[in-house]
Structure 1
Amino acid sequence: MESLKESSPAILSQRFSPKRRVPKYELRRELGWLWLGLLLVWPTTILGQIRNDFQALQNFRMTADVTGQLRDWIGQDPCSGPEWTGVVCKNGRVFELKLERLQLAGPIDALIELDQLRLLTLKDNNLTGTIPDFSSWRNMQLLYLNGNNFTGQIPATVSNMLRLARINLQDNHLEGFIPNVFDNLTRLQTLRLENNDLVGPIPPINNSGINDFSVAGNQLSGSIPSTLSRFSQNSFSGNAALCGEPLALACPPTVAPVQPPTADPNTAPGEAPIPPHRKKGSRLSTGEIVAIVVGDVVALLLITLALLFYYWRRYSRRNQEKPAKGGDLDKGEFSSGQFSTAQLPDSERSKLVFLEGSKHIFELEDLLRASAEMLGKGSFGTAYKAVLEDGSVVAVKRLKDVSTNGKKEFEQQMELIGKLKHPNVVPLRAYYYAKGEKLLVYDYQQNGSLYSLLHGNRGPGRTPLDWVTRLRIALGAARGLAYLHQECGSQKIPHGNIKSSNILLDKDYSACVSDYGLALLMTSSAATTRMAGYRAPEHADTKRISQRADVYSFGVVLLELLTGKAPVPAYSNAAQEEGIDLPRWVHSVVREEWTAEVFDIELMRYRNIEEEMVGLLQVAMVCVSPAPEQRPKMPQVVKMIEEIRPDPASSMDEEGFDSLTQSPLSDEG
């Protein structure tokens, strides 16, 4: 051991002395081995990365492609050979993944392995689960996960994507707080988080590069940061607890924080301070306990007696008001109130008045005995489907808060409405007038409203509304509204309440405009408040309804048909309702030159209709022009729609739903 210690310095000095020269042949041999190692390792590394991309895509396909949309993902390399749907490669790696509107489902965790992604768009699918950790997507620039069913929180690791320019997470079910990390993303331009379940305050995002921002339709609270007040009200609407600019709701003054009580020197560390009125260690006396129990029992008895008295009075009143013949509009049928002609004095008692052209005549008592179900509540009252004893079906609208100068004026207005006859207008058949009750009877339209057809049951099992039917509905509704504008041309009476729920569909899916003429029954101020359809921009200043505003509302209906999206309701609390500002949203998408993203995913399955869809989109955009004078009149709108496809009704009859021009792409090969 000693000899080794003694010899070690000499040996080490001899072997590693800087003066020692390596023979040339030895140097060349070592460099050769180094190059050989690199040549062996480098292809293995690249091959491993390619295999990682391939495996990540295949894992994703196995869980998400429930309808077989990605059946061309075959082979061992997504970046060579036949192209894979939605996959774009560069330098042998997956750089872009575009899988929009393919009915994909399940989680997306497998895609995290694609560490070279620059663009990922999975919008408008049925993807679920939480959004995975963003740490692997450091190169991501464009990320679109909107229109899915993602849950959970927004990962704070979004701050790792320093190249990120646009991120869209809207229309999901994300919850929790908005992470305060977006200041780090200096290249960020778009941040869309609307229509989720996010809570808490909006973080003070101080990023001047963001020009497209929205957190509307969440459950956020508190004041809007001054750094974000430059955006419009629509960016924050639908959050009832938000305040501050640009919203009209001002924030309450800041309350000074309550100072904590001074520590009691007699209180031990970690022990709650003792109230001044009670000494430490004292307990309630027996008398105090008895008093508390007796007080609780007495309070409970008083509450019980009050409830019994309330329900007794309600029951007695209901029995007194019960009609002699049992013909009331309650029974879960017409409304929550009650009605009977037996309650009215003889001077006010009347019958159903049938208008010219009505073929099916029946008595008021027949209507009161009919079984009925509520169809919905609108601006003027509640609508019901009534099935008479002879099996015929009618629609009854029970009016509320009607302002007229008496029975004679009401009858004159009903006669005027009853004269309006057109195939695309729901005909008024009869009316009933009494001091406290006014009923309108229409033909029942068995396929409901356009709103329910477009937005009802958007999940699995839904029957899509095909393009020919949509175009046919648009033309029919335009013709009906144009007729009403022309017939009321001299008085320039507007409809005032154009929206998809007031466009009804008969057994052949022909569009029929309803709720027309009811502006005649309202004072101008009431009509302005309750009748505005999808309100035109000028309504905020003029507070008036007009035929030009009808054209704007009809343009929004056309956008609704094209996009499949529900617009913001018209009434004053629209910010609290579901829906989006359709004209603004469409303008923004078209401005980005992404026009194809406007159209409803259900229309993407049909071929050879792109030109027609763009044509109808152009008509809609003209109708929603901000300036009223730039909007066409309804007869012009009819002509423009007719030029898109001269007669969509006959096209449907001749071609049918399974024609070559309407066949789904998924049915091919």
Structure 2
Amino acid sequence: MPLVYNERHEMAIVRGGRHLFTKVSGTMGPGCRICFLLVVITIFINITTCDADLLSDNQTLLAFKASVDMNGKLENWSQGSPCDGNWYGVACQDGRVAHLVLENIGLTGPITVLSSLDQLRVLSLMGNSLNGSLPDMSNWANLKLLYLNENNFRGEIPPSVSALVHALRIDLSNNKLIGPIPDSFSSLTHLATLRLENNFLSGMLPSLNLTLLNDFNVSGNELSGRIPITLRNFDISAYAGNPELCGYPVSACNFSLPPISSVNLQPPSPSVLPCSPMTRPTDERLKKASGNRLSVGVIAAIVVGDASVLLIVIVMFLFYYWKRYSRRLDRTTSKFLESEKGEFSSDQHSVQVPEVKKSKLVFFDWKKPMFDLEDLLRASAEMLGKGSLGTAYKAVLEDGTIVAVKRLKEVNVSGRKEFEQQMELIGNTQHSHLVQLRAYYYAKEEKLLVYDYLPNGSLYSLLHGNRGPGRTPLDWTTRVKIALGAARGLAFIHQEYSTPKIPHGNVKSSNILLDKNGNACLGDFGLAPLMNATAASRLVGYRAPEHNETRRFSQKADVYSFGIVLLEILTGKASAQSAMQDKGIDLPRWVQSVVREEWTAEVFDIELMRYKNIEEELVGMLQIAMVCVSQSPDLRPKMSQVVKLIEQIRGDQSPQRDESFESPNLSPSPSEDVGTSL
């Protein structure tokens, strides 16, 4: 329990140190006595300094309470220490006040005294009646979340806001702030949220080049001028209520000529004289000139006619080039694997294969084949992605049936029989969380697998793809659902083949696909053993440490790979064992280093910060992931145990969403397996 500083405590330390020194120094020489004395003094200084810092935080909070708590909401602050865990809205870290969350409790008054809390990480005072000016923020270098919205703060935003170098979210909306928006916001490179709406801010918008900024709003102010290019990727609602703002996405900026009075006119030349009565036009000449002018209606008709003709020309031009582009697109995608069609013809294979053994599509659970090889070759195709095992296509047959087709490469099998046996094993393994193999095609130079097509992409693309403006973050409930589904699919494989311990062999986030209902399905099961040594060495599944020595796939290695997937879900970061290794990190080592420094909160994906009351679930899932990635295979749990642990993390209740949190924009992490690994 943290110490509470007082004089009696200090005197006890002094007396204890003096007694210890007297007792021990009798057995030491003069040099050792001096060293021992220095150690005692150092310990004493550290203890008293720590107590002094906590005393300062204590006094600050009590002064704050005295100035703003008119309704007695902070009555329990009068007992003990702020770090005892009993003070309402206060949390500590390393013996210092780090979190102060006092929302919607009717506080009234200034908050300037809080500027001395130099270890604050989170300050949320939203929904009160606090007033006065914003405090000096110079001491808040550690602050990450600042919520002062829905109060009555006045005055300008202080330049000291530039000290918030680690800030992720700043919300000063719905106050009475005036003046310009400081340029110093540009130095807050971690900022993901900046909300300043419904104040009285004026002047021009600064050019905030913040790559992570995703939630930005300055509506309902008195801003003017052109919207900077760096802020034009936000919705028009972010700028509403500022009639003097212009530029995309609001409206075009119309800069009119200055009034004549402001133009520096040159004096007339001496040779140019004013009109004399003899040179002025007569009334008759004026009437004649005006009679020759076109009427407004005629001019309007001419303009409309010209515009109509121009529009027709543009439409015809666009239609012509659209038709040319369509024909070109049809030529490139209308036929699936058009170049391979000759390889599959019966004439070509009739010499190599007996008539009864001619290659054809072999189906599993369909009583009557829905299509044949020719239908598949005539299908329109779209490449989904290239993986270590081959290239995946989305094939749309002429009757509208959609399947996923994987064209294998570098397969190491001795012949048709061995390949067919492996296909029988894969095709007969059916589970709601496994991608179902429906058919296969075998030829000497070509091997195709036909799967169910899953339309919602992969976990990899949901976590790492399109981390830019307009991205919809992957919420915590969905992440848990995906993790649980994938775990159940992998556990089924391990239990189904527990006697001959057949592994999956290529577990990774790009092999976890989502069906139309958002259920996770594990793909690529059973294909790793088919690969030759060269291809197997390039598999980008998350390999366990022992794989580098044994070069063998195992169920324990699958557990390690699944642990990496859990770390991806929790951190939002791509693993270094992905196709784009320069974009990833060694997740287990990085997480261990962060946790070792007691900054566990820094591990979790910033997109998860918009949810309340999920801290225990995040930590629980992290513990599961870390035991899965244990260096020793014997320390890793079975997948059936992992399923039960994840089921305990989340019941049927969804976490409460904090509307003030939105996801930041992160740079994309492209991969050759982004779309799908099928």
Q: TM-score, normalised by structure 2?
A: 0.51
1:497 aligns with 2:497: no
Residue type of the alignment partner of 1:402? V
Residue type of the alignment partner of 2:341? F
Q: What are structure 2's unaligned runs of at least 5 residues?
A: 1-102, 126-132, 148-155, 171-181, 194-209, 214-329, 663-678
1:122 aligns with 2:132: no
CA–CA separation in structure 1 for the residues paired with 2:186 and 2:404: 54
Aligned with residue 596 of structure 2, among 587, 591, 596: 591
Aligned partners of 1:329 and 1:335 also within 8 Å:
no
In structure 2, relative to structure 1, the CA distance for the partners of 1:568 and 1:112 (3 Å cut) is farther
CA–CA separation in structure 2 for the residues paired with 1:495 and 1:102: 46
- Cα offset for 1:87? 9.3
Aligned partners of 1:385 and 1:444 also within 8 Å:
yes
CA–CA separation in structure 2 for the residues paired with 1:102 and 1:361: 60
In structure 2, relative to structure 1, the CA distance for the partners of 1:665 and 1:360 (3 Å cut) is farther
- Which residue of structure 1 lines up, in the alignment, with residue 25 of structure 2? none
Aligned with residue 415 of structure 1, among 409, 421, 424: 424
Aligned partners of 2:333 and 2:382 also within 8 Å:
no
- Cα offset for 1:617? 0.9
Partner SS for 2:349: coil
Q: Deviations over 1:179-203 (max 9, x none)?
A: xxxxxxxxxxxxxxxxxxxxxxxxx
CA–CA separation in structure 1 for the residues paired with 2:167 and 2:398: 53
Aligned with residue 436 of structure 2, among 412, 424, 427: 427
Residue type of the alignment partner of 2:650? R
CA–CA separation in structure 2 for the residues paired with 1:344 and 1:116: 73
1:396 aligns with 2:398: no
1:368 aligns with 2:372: no
CA–CA separation in structure 2 for the residues paired with 1:102 and 1:402: 56
1:662 aligns with 2:656: yes
Aligned partners of 1:124 and 1:601 also within 8 Å:
no
Aligned partners of 1:447 and 1:506 also within 8 Å:
yes
CA–CA separation in structure 1 for the residues paired with 2:444 and 2:416: 8
CA–CA separation in structure 1 for the residues paired with 2:421 and 2:558: 24
User: How does 1:385-534 map onto structure 2 within 5 Å?
Assistant: 385-523=394-532, 525-526=533-534, 528-531=536-539, 533-534=541-542
CA–CA separation in structure 2 for the residues paired with 1:488 and 1:529: 24
CA–CA separation in structure 1 for the residues paired with 2:434 and 2:590: 30
Aligned with residue 344 of structure 1, among 321, 345, 348: 348
Partner SS for 1:394: strand
User: How does 1:607-622 map onto structure 2 within 5 Å?
Assistant: 607-622=612-627
Aligned partners of 1:454 and 1:465 also within 8 Å:
yes
1:629 aligns with 2:637: no
- Cα offset for 1:389? 0.9
Aligned partners of 2:610 and 2:661 also within 8 Å:
no
- Which residue of structure 2 lines up, in the alignment, with residue 561 of structure 1? 569
- Cα offset for 1:582? 1.2
- Cα offset for 1:636? 1.1
In structure 2, relative to structure 1, the CA distance for the partners of 1:432 and 1:461 (3 Å cut) is same
Aligned partners of 1:86 and 1:97 also within 8 Å:
no
Aligned with residue 391 of structure 2, among 363, 379, 382: 382
Aligned with residue 112 of structure 2, among 74, 79, 96: 79
- Cα offset for 1:336? 8.9
Aligned partners of 1:350 and 1:434 also within 8 Å:
yes
Aligned partners of 2:439 and 2:450 also within 8 Å:
yes
Residue type of the alignment partner of 2:112? C
CA–CA separation in structure 2 for the residues paired with 1:436 and 1:621: 43
- Cα offset for 1:581? 1.2
Q: CA RMSD in A?
A: 4.3
Aligned partners of 1:112 and 1:132 also within 8 Å:
no
User: How does 1:279-290 map onto structure 2 within 5 Å?
Assistant: none
User: How does 1:7-406 map onto structure 2 within 5 Å?
Assistant: 79-80=112-113, 86=123, 94-98=138-142, 100=144, 114=160, 120-122=165-167, 331=333, 334=336, 338-340=340-342, 341-342=344-345, 344-346=348-350, 347-348=352-353, 349-357=358-366, 361-406=370-415
- Cα offset for 1:359? 6.8
- Which residue of structure 2 lines up, in the alignment, with residue 550 of structure 1? 558
Partner SS for 2:138: strand
Q: Deviations over 1:86-132 (max 9, x none)?
A: 4999x9763114554789xxxxxx99954995x7413599xxx9999
1:606 aligns with 2:606: no
Residue type of the alignment partner of 2:470? G
- Cα offset for 1:600? 1.4
Q: Deviations over 1:353-407 (max 9, x none)?
A: 1013567621111111111100000111000001111111100000111111111
Partner SS for 1:558: helix
For CA contacts below 8 A with separation 6 or more, give which structure has more relative contact order: 2
Aligned partners of 1:329 and 1:368 also within 8 Å:
no
Residue type of the alignment partner of 1:642? E
Aligned partners of 1:329 and 1:337 also within 8 Å:
no
CA–CA separation in structure 2 for the residues paired with 1:513 and 1:460: 30
CA–CA separation in structure 2 for the residues paired with 1:146 and 1:132: 11
CA–CA separation in structure 2 for the residues paired with 1:569 and 1:131: 39
In structure 2, relative to structure 1, the CA distance for the partners of 1:131 and 1:113 (3 Å cut) is closer
Partner SS for 1:430: strand
Residue type of the alignment partner of 1:79? T
Q: Deviations over 1:277-316 (max 9, x none)?
A: xxxxxxxxxxxxxxxxxxxxxxxxxxxxxxxxxxxxxxxx
In structure 2, relative to structure 1, the CA distance for the partners of 1:642 and 1:113 (3 Å cut) is same
In structure 2, relative to structure 1, the CA distance for the partners of 1:95 and 1:432 (3 Å cut) is same
Q: What are structure 1's unaligned runs of at least 5 residues?
A: 1-69, 104-109, 135-143, 150-169, 174-327
CA–CA separation in structure 1 for the residues paired with 2:415 and 2:476: 47
- Which residue of structure 1 lines up, in the alignment, with residue 586 of structure 2? 581
Q: Deviations over 1:203-237 (max 9, x none)?
A: xxxxxxxxxxxxxxxxxxxxxxxxxxxxxxxxxxx
Partner SS for 1:569: coil
CA–CA separation in structure 2 for the residues paired with 1:547 and 1:415: 20
Q: TM-score, normalised by structure 1?
A: 0.52
1:642 aligns with 2:672: no
Q: Provide the identity percentage.
A: 58
CA–CA separation in structure 2 for the residues paired with 1:432 and 1:627: 40
In structure 2, relative to structure 1, the CA distance for the partners of 1:131 and 1:663 (3 Å cut) is closer
Paired positions, count:
392
In structure 2, relative to structure 1, the CA distance for the partners of 1:369 and 1:332 (3 Å cut) is closer
Residue type of the alignment partner of 1:554? F
CA–CA separation in structure 1 for the residues paired with 2:348 and 2:491: 41
CA–CA separation in structure 1 for the residues paired with 2:410 and 2:379: 25
- Cα offset for 1:551? 0.7
- Cα offset for 1:521? 1.5
In structure 2, relative to structure 1, the CA distance for the partners of 1:565 and 1:377 (3 Å cut) is same
Residue type of the alignment partner of 1:445? L
1:535 aligns with 2:543: yes
In structure 2, relative to structure 1, the CA distance for the partners of 1:556 and 1:488 (3 Å cut) is same
Residue type of the alignment partner of 2:167? L
Residue type of the alignment partner of 2:443? A
Residue type of the alignment partner of 1:625? S
Residue type of the alignment partner of 1:393? I
- Which residue of structure 2 lines up, in the alignment, with residue 152 of structure 1? none
In structure 2, relative to structure 1, the CA distance for the partners of 1:367 and 1:638 (3 Å cut) is same
CA–CA separation in structure 1 for the residues paired with 2:434 and 2:451: 11
CA–CA separation in structure 2 for the residues paired with 1:359 and 1:603: 47
